Amino acid sequence: MSSTWFAATLAFTAGLGGAVQIAAQGRLGERVGSLEALATAAVVGGLIALAALLLVRRSVGGVIEAVGGPKWQLLGGVMSVFIILAITVAGPRIGIVATTAFLIAAQFGLATAIDRYGWFGVERVALTWPRVLGVGLLVVGAALTLRK
């Protein structure tokens, strides 16, 4: 399997996991509270990540190196906490599809700007009308998911 196909399969599988995550987090949040559900997810996820790191690398040196590097590179962890809190709160209120749709529409919108301006050191990608149209249609689609 090529690395491109592997990456696409991994991303697709993560998308499936995201739908399950929204549903499970929402129910947990309703049962124990949003912040408690967030903390539980962070602890469980952290323990699994740490176990995988120790199993594969047999060291936590990479984590120490990561924390010692540029602080903006730790935004992934900060954003993870925010995303988990947002889906815990939004899922039960607007539904799994609408939560997913708004999450994806927002990701596409900001990702377009990140690509266009090369923020975070990524390679610049031109802003074309098909990209703008695609993001616009995603936003419209997200809004339509709110209608019952």
* Helices (H) then strands (E): counts for the chain: 6, 0
pLDDT of residue 66: 92
- DSSP structural state of residue 18: H
Q: Are residues 77 and 7 in the same domain?
A: yes
76-122 residue pLDDT tens: 999 999 999 999 999 999 999 999 999 999 999 999 999 999 999 99
Note the pLDDT of residue 148.
65
Cα separation of 125 and 112, whole Å?
8
Query: What torsion, rounded to 10 degrees, do the Cα atoms 103, 108, 111, 112 define?
Result: -150
Residue 3 shares a structural domain with residue 50: yes
Determine the distance from the C-alpha atom of residue 51 to the mean position of all C-alpha atoms in its chain, rounded to a whole number.
21
Same domain, 75 and 114: no
* Same-domain status, 85 and 119: no
B/e letters for 49-80, b = 16+ CB within 10 Å, e = fewer, are eeeeeeeeeeeeeeeeeeeeeeeeeeeeeeee
| Residues 61, 7 share a domain | yes
Q: What is the pTM of this model?
A: 0.86
Domain count, the chain: 2
- Please tell me the predicted confidence (pLDDT) of residue 146: 85
> Any idea what the Cα angle at residue 40 is, between residues 71 and 146, rounded to 5°?
90
Q: What is the domain range of residue 119?
A: 95-148
The whole-number pLDDT of residue 50 equals 94
Same domain, yes or no, for 86 and 136?
no
Q: Do both 117 and 135 map to the same domain?
A: yes
Are 67 and 123 part of one and the same domain?
Answer: no
Same domain, residue pair 113 and 141:
yes
Model confidence pLDDT, tens digit, residues 15-56 = 999 999 999 999 999 999 999 999 999 999 999 999 999 999
